[in-house]
């Protein structure tokens, strides 16, 4: 994925996060402001969220191989999809990767939603049968799920050490926690009165957006926001 966004807070409409902001993911699909790799994000998009229905813990997803700006049916339903926890992404496919919905974030293990903004050499990753696609991001997602999302920081340092050219910005959420890494690409945070947004780039010009420094992990829970430096493995 080339641009992604996560939300944890009170229930809000998916359109208010993804479609409506003046520089939100819809606009970022054709005119991102801070993207360093690729010009636009026209190779599909996806959104995942946790519903507020009692007892429903299943991550719900809508993924598509068409550009977000052309997904007019989603326009119609997004204003009434409400969630307290959302992960969304627009994709600029890495050369050689498949163009299909299954290669598009967010990926899931049935509990977590996970998006990868970046690129990684698949030969440094285990080829797990649980990967949703042969796309590098799907293989990385399967690796992170296999090692446990709690170990995300360690996994990113390990993979980044095995592939020094990798860019490993991750966005993951399970309904209670929103976790992201900055490793090679931009990441910003907006602390709102009703919740926290993490995004590859600000969706508007609110001066409250702050940049997350590179090689850091940020975790959002109901208790607040914790920022942790990710250090390279010893010997690298």
The only residue of 25, 93, 139, 152 in contact with ligand GLN, by rule CB under 6 A: 93
For residue 204, CA distances in Å to 22, 26, 143, 157, 233 come to 6, 12, 33, 31, 36
The verdict on 38 binding ligand GLN (CB under 6 A) reads: yes
Active site residue 85: no
Q: Is 1 in the site for ligand GLN (CB under 6 A)?
A: yes
CA distance 5 to 197: 7
Does residue 122 bind ligand GLN (CB under 6 A)? no
Residue 65 engages ligand GLN in binding (rule: CB under 6 A):
no
* Phi, psi dihedrals of residue 135, rounded to the nearest 5°: -55, 140
The count of chain residues that interact with ligand GLN, using the rule CB under 6 A, is 16
Find the binder of ligand GLN among 29, 137, 155, 174 (CB under 6 A).
137
101 C-beta neighbours (distance < 10 Å), count: 17
Say if residues 89 and 106 touch (Cβ distance below 8 Å).
Answer: yes
Asked whether position 32 contacts ligand GLN by CB under 6 A, the answer is no
Buried b / exposed e over 134-162, threshold 16 CB at 10 Å, is ebbbbbbbbbbbeeebeebbebbbebbee
- Nearer to ligand GLN by C-beta: 81 or 131? 131
The residue within the footprint of ligand GLN, chosen from 2, 87, 187, 196 (CB under 6 A), is 2
> Which of 14, 85, 86, 119 lies at the binding interface for ligand GLN (CB under 6 A)?
119
Q: d(Cα 121, Cα 156) in Å, to the nearest integer? A: 13
Least distance between ligand GLN and beta carbon 212 (Å): 17
In angstroms, rounded to a whole number, what is the distance separating the alpha carbons of residues 165 and 132?
24
Binding site for ligand GLN (CB under 6 A): 1-2, 38, 91-94, 97, 103, 116-119, 135-137
């Amino acid at each position: 994925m080339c641009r992604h966004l996560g939300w944890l807070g009170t229930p809000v409409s998916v359109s208010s996060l993804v479609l409506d902001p003046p520089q939100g993911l819809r606009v970022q699909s054709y005119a991102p402001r801070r993207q360093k790799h690729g010009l636009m994000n026209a190779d599909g998009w996806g959104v995942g969220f946790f519903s507020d229905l009692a007892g429903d813990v299943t991550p719900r997803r809508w993924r598509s191989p068409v550009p977000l700006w052309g997904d007019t049916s989603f326009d119609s339903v997004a204003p009434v999809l409400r969630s307290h926890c959302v992960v969304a992404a627009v994709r600029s496919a890495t050369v050689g990767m498949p163009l299909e919905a299954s290669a598009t974030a967010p990926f899931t293990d049935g509990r977590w939603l996970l998006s990868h903004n970046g690129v990684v050499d698949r030969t440094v990753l285990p080829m797990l049968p649980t990967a949703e696609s042969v796309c590098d991001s799907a293989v990385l997602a399967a690796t992170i799920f296999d090692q446990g999302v709690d170990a995300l920081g360690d996994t990113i340092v390990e993979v980044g050490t095995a592939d020094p050219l990798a860019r490993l910005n991750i966005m993951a959420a399970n309904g209670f926690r929103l976790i992201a890494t900055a490793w090679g690409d931009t990441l910003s945070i907006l602390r709102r009165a009703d919740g926290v947004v993490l995004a590859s780039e600000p969706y508007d010009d609110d001066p409250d957006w702050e940049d997350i420094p590179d090689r850091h992990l940020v975790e959002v829970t109901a208790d607040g926001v914790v920022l942790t430096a990710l250090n390279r493995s010893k010997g690298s």
